[in-house]
């Protein structure tokens, strides 16, 4: 039990899938936590975040809170689930218990945690919260790809692929390295775009980085008409290496 009258909401970043990528801060916090919470797409569903910890020697606390965050685009329905999850979390926190919310990757990088924190703060403006940062998936994917994510003066854009092909095209015109998150729903149009721009050989696809099911695809053309997991991304090195020399602007 904490010494405060109310508990704290803690976003615990677990890294993209490999338990060895847990930080010492995350490990320490989870060892002493009284309550773990994690997102699921529906009641009774498995949790990718929890599965990372299941491959460690950490012993779960007595109090466990799976929270439903469905993968839908209906804003009103999403808000309903965020508020419902926030009420559940606050009820536990008002008993003086810290709630440690498990997040794959990093809690500040395209993660459910901030939605939960925002909804909880709307219900309790005096909410105390903190984030334990972790390894974000683009960095893990770059390590698996065998080359640097960026170097020298290279510019980098990290975007959700769901912004649309027109926006991706514009970003490819402006940045030397482009990381496409959430690539599963639009993988085929992305592959078509890369083929049109002769960039297929400059892209790498990484799925579930660090997990036992991880997949690294250097020949992204092989993914045409193939299904992929939703935890996937693509790194596109949209140049021939000139900007990586660190000499931009020099004679």
Residues 23-47 pLDDT 10s: 999 999 999 999 999 999 898 899 9
For the record, the structure tokens of 32 come out as 């002493």
Distance between start and end Cα atoms, the chain: 63
- pLDDT at 248 (0 to 100): 45
pLDDT digits (tens, 9 = 90+) for 168-200: 999 999 999 999 999 999 999 999 999 999 999
* Kind plus residue range of the DSSP H or E element containing 84: helix 75-93
Q: Write the burial class of residue 71 (CB in 10 Å: 0-12 exposed, 13-18 middle, 19+ buried).
A: exposed
* CA 215 – CA 192 distance, rounded (Å): 21
The pLDDT confidence band at residue 249, using thresholds 50, 70 and 90, is very low
Q: What is the pTM for the complete model shown?
A: 0.89
Question: Phi/psi of residue 81, each to 5°?
Answer: -70, -40
Output the pLDDT for position 5: 83
Q: How many CA atoms lie within 13 A of 232 on its CB side?
A: 22
Domains of the chain by start residue, with CATH? 9-132 (3.40.1010.10), 137-245 (3.30.950.10)
Nearest 10 degrees: Cα torsion 60, 52, 27, 85: -60
Predicted pLDDT of residue 246: 45
Please tell me the predicted confidence (pLDDT) of residue 225. 94
**Cβ 230 vs Cβ 71: under 8 Å:** yes
| Nearest Cα to Cα of residue 114 among 98, 95, 133, 97 | 133
Nearest-angstrom CA–CA distance, 41 and 22: 23
Contact between residue 182 and residue 161 where contact means Cβ atoms under 8 Å apart: yes
**Which residues is 15 bridged to in the sheet?**
105
Q: What is the mean pLDDT of the chain?
A: 92
């Amino acid at each position: 039990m904490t010494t405060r009258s109310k508990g704290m909401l803690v976003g615990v970043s677990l890294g993209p899938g490999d338990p060895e990528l847990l930080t010492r801060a995350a490990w320490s916090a989870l060892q002493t936590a009284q309550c773990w919470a994690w997102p699921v797409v529906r009641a009774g569903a498995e949790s990718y975040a929890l599965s990372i910890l299941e491959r460690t020697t950490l012993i779960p606390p007595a109090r466990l809170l799976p929270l439903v965050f469905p993968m839908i685009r209906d804003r009103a329905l999403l808000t309903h689930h965020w508020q419902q999850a926030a009420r559940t979390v606050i009820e536990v926190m008002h008993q003086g218990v810290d709630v440690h919310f498990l997040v794959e990757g990093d809690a500040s990088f395209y993660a459910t945690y901030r939605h939960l924190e925002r909804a909880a703060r709307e219900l309790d403006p005096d909410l105390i919260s903190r984030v334990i940062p972790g390894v974000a998936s683009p960095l893990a994917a770059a390590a698996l790809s065998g080359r640097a994510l960026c170097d020298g003066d290279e510019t980098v854009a990290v975007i959700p692929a769901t912004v649309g092909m027109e926006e991706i095209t514009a970003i490819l015109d402006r940045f030397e390295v482009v990381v496409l998150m959430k690539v599963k729903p639009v993988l085929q149009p992305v592959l078509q775009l890369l083929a049109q721009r002769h960039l297929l050989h400059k892209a790498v696809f990484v799925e579930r980085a660090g997990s036992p099911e991880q997949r690294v695809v250097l020949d992204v053309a092989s993914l045409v008409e193939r299904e992929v997991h939703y935890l996937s991304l693509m790194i596109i090195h949209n140049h021939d290496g000139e900007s990586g020399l660190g000499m931009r602007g020099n004679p």
